[in-house]
Amino acid sequence: MDHKENEVVDIQEFMSKVDKESDFRKLKGFAGRFVWALAIAFSVFQVYTAAFGVLDAMIQRSIHLGFGLALIFLLYPTRKSWSRDRLHWFDVFLAILGAAAPAYIIIFYKDLVLRAGTVTTLDMIVGAIGILLVLEAARRIVGWPMVIVALVFLAYAFLGPYVPGDLAHRGVTVSKLVGHMFYTTEGIFGIPLMVSSTFIFLFILFGAFLEKTGMGQLFIDLANAVAGWAVGGPAKVAVLSSALMGTISGSSVANVVGTGSFTIPMMKKLGYKPEFAGAVEAAASTGGQLMPPIMGAAAFLMAEFIGVPYLRVVTAAIIPAVLYYMGVWISVDLEARKLGLKGMKREDIPKFKDVIIERGHLLIPLIAIIWLLVSGYTPMRVALIAIILSVVCSFLRKNTRISFKDIVNALEQGARSALSIVAATACAGIIVGVVTLTGLGLKFATTMVEFANGNLLLTLIFVMFASLILGMGVPTTANYVITSTIAAPALILMKIPTLAAHMFAFYFGIVADITPPVALAAYAGSGIAKGNPMQTGINATKIAIAAFLVPYIFVYNPQMLLIDAKPFEIIWMIITASIGMYGVGASMIGYMVTDASMIERVLMFVGGVLLVTPGIETDLIGFIILAVIFIYQRRKKSLKVKMA
């Protein structure tokens, strides 16, 4: 086995440790062929309903959940010690139950509709089994954090009368809870699973097709051509490639491993410390979940939850996402200048023109997505067209042409990649169901606002910590469902625009992936870089400082989300915020023109934040502060040169 093969094995082993989704069985023989065929059937069903019409809500979602549960129990063993190349009878039994419980709704659909609200003994048994299966599926593929949150909410539903203070409620019976969770569109089969069974699955499938065409390598080559030669080139390649991959990836950890296995060794070779190299990749990959147009699939959920067009969510996210990546870019640039690092040699970098000529046609589906969304097409229709275009465009050149086998394998891979979303959204439905049944969202929001004594800044801080805690170790889609259900209502109660409130909670739920002590994306980066995990997480937090500042700013100034913003205001905001992010980045790295003292760093931070905050007065003060620091640093550097 050569060095490259060893490296692939190491990455796979590492992924199985930090990302439960990657720790699946590699089945052979009849079992392998059966699971392969079942996954393809899942994708074919989703494509068929997208093309010819979605079925009735409960039937569509039941089939979707049935496929998902069956595949999860077959692919992910009950115990880590169980074999990865053959099935265990217990997992087969659970897979049959996983398919049967949702099938019960399909078979007895008319009866269930006619006696809506009445739960028979058989309904109770099947519903209870269904809820337990969803929790177990989430444990296997998503992890304990998500399941623990769901269990706490279920306990709250039963123990409501014993909860002290304003969070108390009358409590619910087992039959009422099971009926609400499993036989209505308010629980497991609610909005999260609806979005999973329509938009999200198709976009994940689209990503699988893009991967077969070589889109991942195209992103890396484009990033190399654009930034590989610059100061700290490999780090900037990581930022660009991760931002591009983030447009189609739904996982921070998968994004870190996908691009980080290439960019992190390059950064270390150039001279970046392991803890900084891993942090750059973690921060850049996590930002992919904030990057339009897909935003880790949360954009679809947000549009459904707050009742606005999908395109409105995407446009609102543009400026914050740009500022985020600008902050990351500035940090890696300043760190490189501080360490005296250079870019890669021109002869080692692919030429932009050659990359575009050879494989630029693969970008057509991504361009088409944006055009179709702006034209008013539904996200589901857009995803379907994008899948077809990805196949058609691959045939435009021989070196990108995908075979029939590639198409079939993409269908299988797409279904497998969607399983974590199925489990997460179904489990998130339990949380939403408890909230709608008990009114917890409003109760929690009221308690939070009262605890902050009606002070907006304190409320924002409480919501930030709540979102960070709730978002730890939870996938993007489920992350948004939890934070928007529990944390966002507190801001809405404070008269904050609904879109700004949801975006605030979403941002902090996402950056939980790089915020210690959990920081899954940062730990993934540190594993590849072979650095200290905690220090990598701290560095990632510093690099991604924009994600901690921008949400506060767009709450106080919703114009950043293009809410009631005029064209001139938008242009001015982008210019001043860009300069402001330079100041903030310089403060975090401790370098602008030369090494900065603690006082200089504090002043840089203050000046940067004032410029990022919309307003003529704040912009003017911030600009003056940064200008004075810049001039002072120039003089300080020239004195150092003369003394040397």
pLDDT one-digit tens code per residue, 180-203: 999 999 999 999 999 899 888 998
pLDDT at 1 over 50: no
d(CA 102, CA 309): 30
Mean pLDDT of 366-394: 89
Instruction: Pick the more confident residue, 120 or 260.
Output: 120
What is residue 207's predicted lDDT score, i.e. its pLDDT?
86
Write the DSSP assignment of 179-195 as a string of letters. Answer: HHHHSSTTTTTSHHHHH
Mean pLDDT of 288-299: 78
Question: Is 381 a domain residue?
Answer: no
d(CA 88, CA 97): 15
Helices 404-438 and 29-52 pack at an angle, to 10 degrees, of 70
Question: Is 584 a domain residue?
Answer: yes
Instruction: Pick the more confident residue, 265 or 246.
Output: 265
Sequence-ordered list of residues with C-beta below 8 angstroms from that of 281, at least 6 positions apart, any chain: 238, 242, 256, 259, 260, 263, 264, 267, 525, 528, 529
- 8 pLDDT band, cuts 50/70/90, is very low
Q: What domain range is 585 assigned to?
A: 568-644
Mean pLDDT of 13-33: 75
pTM: 0.86
Domain count, the chain: 1
Instruction: Pick the more confident residue, 166 or 135.
Output: 135
User: Do the beta carbons of residue 253 and residue 522 sit within 8 Å?
Assistant: no
Q: Do you find a cis peptide bond into 293, omega within 30 degrees of 0?
A: yes
d(CA 528, CA 265): 8
Question: Is 68 a domain residue?
Answer: no
pLDDT at 77 over 90: yes
Write the DSSP assignment of 599-638 as a string of letters. Answer: HHHHHHHHHHHHHHS--HHHHHHHHHHHHHHHHHHHHHHH
39-43, 389-393, 470-474, range with the lowest pLDDT: 470-474
Question: Is 594 a domain residue?
Answer: yes
User: Do the beta carbons of residue 84 and residue 239 sit within 8 Å?
Assistant: no
Q: Which amino acid is at 223?
A: A
Helices 29-52 and 379-394 pack at an angle, to 10 degrees, of 120
Sequence-ordered list of residues with C-beta below 8 angstroms from that of 62, at least 6 positions apart, any chain: 102, 103, 105, 106, 189
pLDDT at 6 over 60: no
Q: Which residues pair with 595 in a beta bridge?
A: 591
Question: Is 327 a domain residue?
Answer: no
pLDDT at 76 over 80: yes
d(CA 481, CA 502): 10
- 405 pLDDT band, cuts 50/70/90, is very high
What is residue 21's predicted lDDT score, i.e. its pLDDT?
67
pLDDT at 637 over 60: yes
User: Residue 255: which of 289, 225, 294, 224 has the closest Cα?
Assistant: 289
pLDDT at 43 over 90: yes
Question: Is 122 a domain residue?
Answer: no
Question: Is 593 a domain residue?
Answer: yes
Question: Is 104 a domain residue?
Answer: no
User: Do the beta carbons of residue 491 and residue 460 sit within 8 Å?
Assistant: yes
